[in-house]
Amino acid sequence: MTYRVTFVCTGNICRSPMAEHVLRRHAEDEGLDVEVDSSGTGGWHAGDGADPRTVSALRRAGYTSAHEARQFRPIWFDRYDLVIALDEGHYRDLRSMAPTVEAREKVRLLRSFDPAAADLNVPDPYYGGKAGFEECRELIEAAVPGLLDEIRKAL
């Protein structure tokens, strides 16, 4: 049984593709049958690659980075076991577009999987520099062990 996870941020060029590549690598390292992708709540970057700073942060940490941005569609809720928002705004947007109660329950905040997280938002690094992208990667990596625990339980 393949478990399907998608990450959602604003434009699908910074946070969500970073989370996608981080989780994919860790799931592959563990041999878990997990399909991972990402999208954005908005479509203005659809078809673009990940932000070059995202690509750099991923590559510096040894992750893959191939990506093509796309916009999340409400009809996709049926495709996924988890729809993971990168901040509370995305969380609200996703829950409001969910067509059923069951779909709304699939929406989770990424940092909710990090027991040490005081703030459940992954800040948007887009308007900052290299340090913001590194912080973004570190916050994502801190949540991955808890997310993998959730996936293992479901598998």
Is residue 15 among the annotated active site residues?
Answer: yes
Q: Strand 3-9: give its sheet, edge to edge.
A: 34-40, 3-9, 82-85, 107-109
Is residue 14 among the annotated active site residues?
Answer: no
User: Which of the following is catalytic: 4, 48, 104, 124?
Assistant: 124
Is residue 124 among the annotated active site residues?
Answer: yes
CA distance 143 to 66: 22
User: Which of the following is catalytic: 15, 24, 53, 137?
Assistant: 15
| CA Rg value for the chain | 14
User: Which of the following is catalytic: 9, 37, 51, 53?
Assistant: 9
**Helices and strands (H, E) in the chain, number of each type:** 5, 4
CA distance 123 to 153: 28
Q: Which active-site residues does the annotation give?
A: 9, 15, 124
